[in-house]
Amino acid sequence: MKKDDFLGKPISIPSRGIAHTICAERDLVSKRIFGSIHLTEVSMDDLYELRELVVNEINDRIASSHAPEPE
């Protein structure tokens, strides 16, 4: 195994270049980016609204996963 194999496969990051998968993930976390959302650029009011949307989505999915299948 090569020295940097534990960092994951190389991937191409648009407008950034090539990076290992682990390095790219760490970079996104350090910059607080999720998907295409740059969390540092979102206002506090919008962050609170986003949190509510996410919590509601999680609760809905949990509830529907425990619901009995329709016959």
Chain segment 10-68, per-residue pLDDT in tens: 777 666 777 777 777 777 667 787 878 888 899 999 999 999 999 999 999 999 988 77
Q: What pLDDT is stored for residue 9 in this prediction?
A: 75
Q: What pLDDT is stored for residue 1 in this prediction?
A: 43
Cβ–Cβ under 8 Å, residues 21 and 6: no
Q: What pLDDT is stored for residue 52 in this prediction?
A: 97
- Give the 3-state DSSP-derived string for the chain, with helices as H, strands as E and coil as C: CCCCHHHCCEEEECCCEEEEHHHHHHHHHHCCEECCEEHHHCCHHHHHHHHHHHHHHHHHHHHHHHCCCCC
